[in-house]
Structure 1
Amino acid sequence: MVPGRRPSSAMLELRHLRYFLATAEELNYGRAAERLRIAQPGLSQQIRNLEEIVGTQLFDRTRRSVKLTLAGELFVEEARKALQQTETALLVARRAGRGELGRIAIGYVGSAAYTGALTTMIGQFRTAYPEVELHISEMEMLPQLDQLDQGKLDIGFIRPPVPLPLGIVSTPILFEEIMLALPESHALAGQERVPLSALNGDIFITPRHPAGVSFHEHTTSACRAAGFFPRLGPQGRDFVTIASMVAVGLGVALVPQSLQSIQVPGLRYRAIAGSPVLAELAVAYRRNEPSPVARAFAAHARRSASAANPV
């Protein structure tokens, strides 16, 4: 190596750093070559190539010894840092590819929190993927589906039935009984089980959904099965609002069983007589999800659903 020679235009590769560090640690070409499992002449050539790239001599070589030059001593620490950083970058990329790192935006309807399914599923996911950043927000169901479709949301906790945008699918994670919410002043509020047909003359409060969607559909279909079409009255943004509307006497409502965790003065929850009417809670996600971490959550939801609802 001629002092002051200009650096080569050849590309520095990670193997150059590995070969250099092994030689610097062994200070013996034979032992370094054996450690690297390559031939000694090949190692010598790679070190010469590295010195060409760097533009200065890294080793003082004699027949009896190999020593680092000052440039070589300084290069050792930087080479170690470079390899360590590269290994860290590879590990991070691999973990992200497995869905162990990243960010997920999750939306949920308010009633999902009452069931315990939301907190249980997210808690289990956090235990399995502690470094995933979760952004969770309560959101009405139709805006959730719009944001899933637009890629602004990754996971949605929804209450079917509801038309899903193209490419969005859902997995049921819970089925719970539907109950009646009655004002405590209602003539039937004292009964433990109330025939739905006995409410033929009442006004039914439903969530703010179009016909055929979620509890709007549950209400109309259950009443039709009981032999009448319900008189639909005011709508509420969520079930807490609906519970308050029932309590002040604006009507009656069909609500999920888990809403009983919300106690409102003036309100009574009563079972529907006859065969149970069930409501579904589901997780919605993109069928062809590009994000590994969102795919990991969807897979977690499917596993949880299978465990909770075995065939």
Structure 2
Amino acid sequence: MNPARMELRHLRYFLAVAEEMNFGRAAERLGIAQPGLSQQVKALEEIIGTALLDRTRRSVRLTLAGELLARDARDILARSEAALLSASKAGRGEVGRLAIGYVASAAYTGLLTSILGSFRHTCPEVDLAITEMPMQQQLEAIAADRLDICFIRPPVSLPMGITSFAVLQEPVALALPASHPMAQRDVVPLDTLSAETFITPHHAPNVSFHHHTIIACRAAGFSPRLGPQGRDFMTIASMAAVGLGVALVPQSVACIQLPGVAYRPLAGTGITAELAIAHRRNEVLAAARRFIRHARGFRLR
């Protein structure tokens, strides 16, 4: 016997004959000529070194060797097809694991759950490990290959090899104490707040809402007096509620209904808050590439 000469097609042809018990029907099922099928089965018998079919009767019957091979052939072919399917799914990014980080405010927009939920529906065999963490920690983690995808709030300096694209632009709003006189206004002009203390996130001046606060106030004709900083917008809203200052926040943060805080639109700032997805520029993980393509379908909706 020389197993190296045997191919899966030999097993497939032989199994068709074993199941049909007729060369003509088996050939028709396989879409090949009957003489060719007979030759392939004969070649398999020569490879194995024993008869698989009893051809001495009018009807085709399996020998004991043929019965044993037919049983094993079904399993071999099923496993080979499963292996090919798994490899194909992996190549299309339909299986695997993705580590995804997000800033807390991404959840307030509804877009995070929309993207993740629809991707989960499309690729249910991709395991999603989702973790809320500060933006800078996300970027450090993706640079160290501990994360594959990051939901962030630009502007921010990205590590080498990391790029990003926007998935949402939303208006910037004002969070202020509910007792503040401006909380009674439908729309608040930013230049009326020049004497206020502004609460910002724990970021450098050129990053995210620290940057937005400085730029918006300067455009309104004053430099903001910067006060306490908060880890996230929940903390910032709480600080505003207790009277520590006012804050510029994404409009979606208004879903945080805390006692003592009010949210109001700003008049004419023209500044929008961006939610973006950061990923490796030359991504090799098929599941991550699949997620990136999927997320781009939600871009700027």
Give the TM-score, by structure 1 length. Answer: 0.87
Q: Which residue of 1 aligns with 2:237?
A: 243
2:15 aligned to which of 2, 5, 21: 21
Secondary structure of the residue that 2:73 maps to in structure 1? Answer: helix
Q: Which residue of 1 aligns with 2:99?
A: 105
Q: Which residue of 2 aligns with 1:280?
A: 274
Mapping of 1:65-84 within 5 angstroms? 65-84=59-78
Q: Counterpart of 1:253 in structure 2: which amino acid?
A: A
> Are residue 186 (structure 1) and residue 171 (structure 2) matched?
no
- Call closer, same or farther: CA 1:15–1:226 in 2, change over 3 Å: same
Q: Which residue of 1 aligns with 2:151?
A: 157
Superposed CA offset, 1:238-264 (max 9, x none)? 000111112122222111111111111
- Call closer, same or farther: CA 1:227–1:78 in 2, change over 3 Å: same
Alpha-carbon separation, structure 1, partners of 2:24 and 2:181 = 97
Alpha-carbon separation, structure 2, partners of 1:83 and 1:89 = 10
Secondary structure of the residue that 1:188 maps to in structure 2? Answer: helix
Mapping of 1:22-37 within 5 angstroms? 22-29=16-23, 32-33=26-27, 35-36=29-30
Alpha-carbon separation, structure 2, partners of 1:115 and 1:216 = 20
Secondary structure of the residue that 1:153 maps to in structure 2? Answer: coil
2:44 aligned to which of 43, 46, 50: 50
Q: Is the 8 A contact 2:168 2:276 kept in 1?
A: yes
1:301 aligned to which of 283, 295, 301: 295
Alpha-carbon separation, structure 2, partners of 1:123 and 1:35 = 42
- Call closer, same or farther: CA 1:13–1:226 in 2, change over 3 Å: same
Secondary structure of the residue that 2:258 maps to in structure 1? Answer: coil
Mapping of 1:106-145 within 5 angstroms? 106-145=100-139
- Call closer, same or farther: CA 1:265–1:9 in 2, change over 3 Å: closer
Using the TM superposition, name which of 30-39 and 257-266 deviates more. 30-39
Q: Counterpart of 1:175 in structure 2: which amino acid?
A: Q
Please report how far the alpha carbon of residue 115 of structure 1 lies from its aligned counterpart in structure 2 after TM superposition: 1.0
Q: Which residue of 2 aligns with 1:231?
A: 225
> Are residue 10 (structure 1) and residue 4 (structure 2) matched?
yes
Alpha-carbon separation, structure 1, partners of 2:152 and 2:285 = 21
Q: Counterpart of 2:153 in structure 1: which amino acid?
A: R
Q: Counterpart of 1:226 in structure 2: which amino acid?
A: A
How many matched pairs?
301
Q: Counterpart of 2:260 in structure 1: which amino acid?
A: G
Superposed CA offset, 1:249-293 (max 9, x none)? 222211111111111112122222234421111122222221222
1:170 aligned to which of 164, 169, 172: 164
1:217 aligned to which of 173, 189, 211: 211
Using the TM superposition, name which of 30-39 and 144-153 deviates more. 30-39
Q: Counterpart of 1:281 in structure 2: which amino acid?
A: L
Secondary structure of the residue that 2:182 maps to in structure 1? Answer: coil
Secondary structure of the residue that 1:22 maps to in structure 2? Answer: helix
Alpha-carbon separation, structure 2, partners of 1:184 and 1:26 = 81
Q: Is the 8 A contact 1:243 1:267 kept in 2?
A: yes
Q: Is the 8 A contact 2:216 2:269 kept in 1?
A: no
- Call closer, same or farther: CA 1:180–1:57 in 2, change over 3 Å: same
Alpha-carbon separation, structure 2, partners of 1:260 and 1:74 = 69
Superposed CA offset, 1:195-232 (max 9, x none)? 22222232211111112010010011111111222222
Over the residues paired in the alignment, what is the CA RMSD in angstroms? Answer: 2.3
Identity %: 62
Q: Is the 8 A contact 1:8 1:52 kept in 2?
A: no
Please report how far the alpha carbon of residue 101 of structure 1 lies from its aligned counterpart in structure 2 after TM superposition: 2.4
1:88 aligned to which of 82, 87, 103: 82
Using the TM superposition, name which of 261-270 and 128-137 deviates more. 128-137
Superposed CA offset, 1:149-199 (max 9, x none)? 222222211111111223322221211111111123434333333222222
Q: Is the 8 A contact 2:3 2:48 kept in 1?
A: no
Secondary structure of the residue that 1:10 maps to in structure 2? Answer: helix
Q: Which residue of 1 aligns with 2:56?
A: 62
